[in-house]
Amino acid sequence: MNQLNQTTEYLKVLAHPLRLLIIRALRCNRQLSVGQLAGLCEVSQPSVSGHLRLLKDRGLLRKQRQGRQVFYRVSEPAMARIINCFGDKAD
């Protein structure tokens, strides 16, 4: 039941179009900066940063600082399987 509860929490966090788009982008590109994600998602960096913070706080993402840039990547291996269930269309 613990795994089921964890999956439920992941799905709650992913129940936002921008967060789902961020996870999809990271799944395909492995690691991206805030600026790169903002460009891909066509939203402002502050907006992306807020969503990244939530995803990181819930344990779905890890961040790594390289100089002045911060790069994010998916931290939970099961995340790819969950996202694959939604298909690859970005509409």
Mean pLDDT per segment of 10 residues, for the chain of length 91 residues?
A: 82 90 85 95 95 93 93 81 64 46
**What domain range is 7 assigned to?**
2-84
The answer to whether position 91 is within a domain reads: no
Query: Can you spell out the DSSP letters for 20-81?
Result: HHHHHHHHHHS-EEHHHHHHHHTS-HHHHHHHHHHHHHTTSEEEEEETTEEEEEE--THHHH
> Cα 39 from chain centroid?
15
The answer to whether position 89 is within a domain reads: no
pTM: 0.82
**Structural domains in the chain (count):** 1
Q: Which CATH number is 20's domain given? A: 1.10.10.10
pLDDT at position 3, please? Answer: 81
Amino acid symbol at 71: F
pLDDT at position 1, please? Answer: 67
